[in-house]
Structure 1
Amino acid sequence: MKTILTTGSNGLLGQKITEKILAEGRVKLKATSKGANRYPITNGYEYAEMDILNPAQVRAVIEKCKPDAIIHTAAMTNVDTAEANKELCYQLNVDAVKTLVSLCEEKNIQFIHLSTDFVFDGADGPYKEDDTVNPLSYYGESKVLAEELLKNSKANWVILRTILVYGITNDMSRSNIVLWAKGALEKGIPINVVNDQWRMPTLAEDLAEACLLALEKNAQGIYHISGKDYMSIADLVRKVADYWAFDKSIISEISSESLNQTAKRPLRTGFVLDKTIRDLGYNPHSFSEGLKIVDEQMKNSIK
């Protein structure tokens, strides 16, 4: 049975990978993250504190664990924070990848790397894996630089690009578009939502499954991972309102320009999933199915 090391195991995707491995026992898991373990179950796998910006610590953990593969989920993903703090973004999204890739080359470890639809400019989505990248933000640029590192390496690598991941963690410590919209609508707080950005939101469980499929099939190259439904952010928020029967009249549609965000966002991304479905056997949930899963998990977390 393969041993997998995950980075960023305290994050949404990291916790979903832990959950899936514990439920299915497909691999052995060494979970790592900065700081203490925040996953509520501590049996059935090992956990180590690991700061991806500390190369000596990264090497020590990897040499002790001897993983067959690394699933690298840790990154700076807040697009505006990345724009405002480019140096830290570069360290987290590029330098850390250099450290990990170098160790993967040295020790013949498979490297599964998470990337983003923000490598594209949004002028011509949905995108295929071999479409030309042209990031509009520093976050997107940092992820392109990381992808280039992998392409130029001798490591056994696969890049999984994804879009707008949603879901819940056990401690509800991570927000995302679905939880934000639900929280505001539940309280009756009027919200402004952009109607000119189009995405294919991805259930965190689907992305976790894709990571394990890429591992099991020893996938190589780039794969696009998202949900199957293409919608505007405004449509997404209305679907959240419909699912939980909230008042849609407090949703106001606005343009991206009027938001004055620090970083520029691509307008129309989305992915063509044909290659991933064919090669990996990926079968994502619909958005409505995803909302049902999130709803059930919320109810269970309250019990």
Structure 2
Amino acid sequence: MEKKRILITGSNGLLGQKLIELLVKQSNIHTIATARGENRLPFTEGYEYLSMDITNPEQVHQVIKQARPEVVIHTAAMTNVDQCETEKDACWAQNVQAVEYLVEACQETNAFLLHVSTDFIFDGADGPYDVDAEANPLSFYGWSKYAAEKAVIHSGPVRWAIARTVLVYGIAHDMSRSNIILWVKKSLEEGKNIKVVTDQWRTPTLAEDLAMGCYLIADGEAEGIFNISGKDLLTPYEMAIMTAEFFGLDRSLIAEADSSTFTQPARRPARTGFILDKSRDVLGYEPHSFQEGIAILAEQVRQK
């Protein structure tokens, strides 16, 4: 049986890592990891690695032509929302132009394109959102991701899917990225007082769940837009309290705050979160609860 060839962009990132770990376990898949520069994954077995800078059109065309993937899962992006607001050219190059290059390469090779997007394409006025909700970004990051979606949707003969997600958290192999769980745990262990917002709502997504959702789409080449997030609609304050309680830490160190107490270059939507009905029905996607997510992270930290 010939293996399905799946190429991942951004394999050094958090989602990229989790996808490679998941795909190498599937006996029917040949996995091709790509990222800019060196391969930073801690293992080299079970997949091939090709260096690819998504902002370089020649490289994108060359690598995709060489690798001949049947499916491309595009996870690479500039995701620091405030950095996108202050470095608009870099943001546009990585989040929009790169997608246009990938679309062209997929047109030439007849590959299925799965593009990862975000809840930040919405203004947060009436979340949680279904897959056909009207976009209205508040930040330049949100606009760049919305423009990228449009490039995918209008990509002509290319078969495509978009996986939108929300506030991804997880443990990168080199512990290079923090997240709300690790930040709260570390702060409280050090006896620090922290302020956490109560006026934003999200459905936080375990990185492993997002990887599974992407795999389900890629494996079935399911077309269209899918919401791939966690299932619990929570404020960051509620996430912090649940984290403190899980680790048996002093929750009195956590103070409630509203967004206006933090000055950030980019505006954030107030209430996003996703309705997962389509992903459950079409893909059989079922994410962990946030409580289960904390336990999974705790176990991964313990093994480090």
Q: TM-score range, shorter-chain basis? A: over 0.9
2:34 to 29, 32, 35: 32
2:11 to 9, 21, 35: 9
TM-fit CA distance, 1:24:
3.3
1:84 to 83, 86, 91: 86
Question: Which amino acid counterpart does residue 59 of structure 1 have in structure 2?
Answer: H
Q: Which aligned pairs between 1:81-120 and structure 2 lie closer than 5 A?
A: 81-120=83-122
Task: Tell me if the contact between 2:114 and 2:162 (Cα under 8 Å) persists in the aligned partners.
Answer: yes
Deviations 1:27-82 (A, max 9, x none): 11110111211111101111111111111111121111111111000001010000
Q: Any gaps of 5 or more consecutive residues in structure 1?
A: none
| Secondary structure of the corresponding residue to residue 84 of structure 2 | helix
Question: Which amino acid counterpart does residue 199 of structure 2 have in structure 1?
Answer: D
Q: Distance between the aligned counterparts of 1:24 and 1:3, measured in 2?
A: 11
Is the alpha carbon distance of 1:97 and 1:212 closer, same or farther for their aligned partners in structure 2, counting shifts above 3 Å? same
Q: Which aligned pairs between 1:223-302 and structure 2 lie closer than 5 A?
A: 223-301=226-304
TM score, norm. by length of structure 1 = 0.97
Task: Tell me if the contact between 1:11 and 1:174 (Cα under 8 Å) persists in the aligned partners.
Answer: no
TM-fit CA distance, 1:177:
2.2
Task: Tell me if the contact between 2:206 and 2:230 (Cα under 8 Å) persists in the aligned partners.
Answer: yes
Question: Which amino acid counterpart does residue 123 of structure 1 have in structure 2?
Answer: A
TM-fit CA distance, 1:178:
2.1
| Secondary structure of the corresponding residue to residue 24 of structure 2 | helix
Q: What is the aligned partner in structure 1 of residue 141 from structure 2?
A: 139
Q: Distance between the aligned counterparts of 1:294 and 1:30, measured in 2?
A: 26
TM-fit CA distance, 1:219:
1.0
Question: Which amino acid counterpart does residue 237 of structure 1 have in structure 2?
Answer: A
Q: Which aligned pairs between 1:186-201 and structure 2 lie closer than 5 A?
A: 186-201=189-204
Q: What is the aligned partner in structure 2 of residue 121 from structure 1?
A: 123
Q: CA RMSD in A?
A: 1.0
TM-fit CA distance, 1:258:
1.6
TM score, norm. by length of structure 2 = 0.97
Question: Which amino acid counterpart does residue 11 of structure 2 have in structure 1?
Answer: S
1:207 to 206, 210, 220: 210
Q: Distance between the aligned counterparts of 1:201 and 1:294, measured in 2?
A: 13
Q: How many matched pairs?
A: 301
1:160 aligns with 2:163: yes
- Over 4 Å off, 4+ runs: none
Task: Tell me if the contact between 1:200 and 1:227 (Cα under 8 Å) persists in the aligned partners.
Answer: yes
Deviations 1:193-213 (A, max 9, x none): 111000000000000001110
Question: Which amino acid counterpart does residue 220 of structure 1 have in structure 2?
Answer: E
Is the alpha carbon distance of 1:181 and 1:25 closer, same or farther for their aligned partners in structure 2, counting shifts above 3 Å? farther
Q: Any gaps of 5 or more consecutive residues in structure 2?
A: none
Percent identity of paired positions between Structure 1 and Structure 2: 52
Q: What is the aligned partner in structure 2 of residue 172 from structure 1?
A: 175
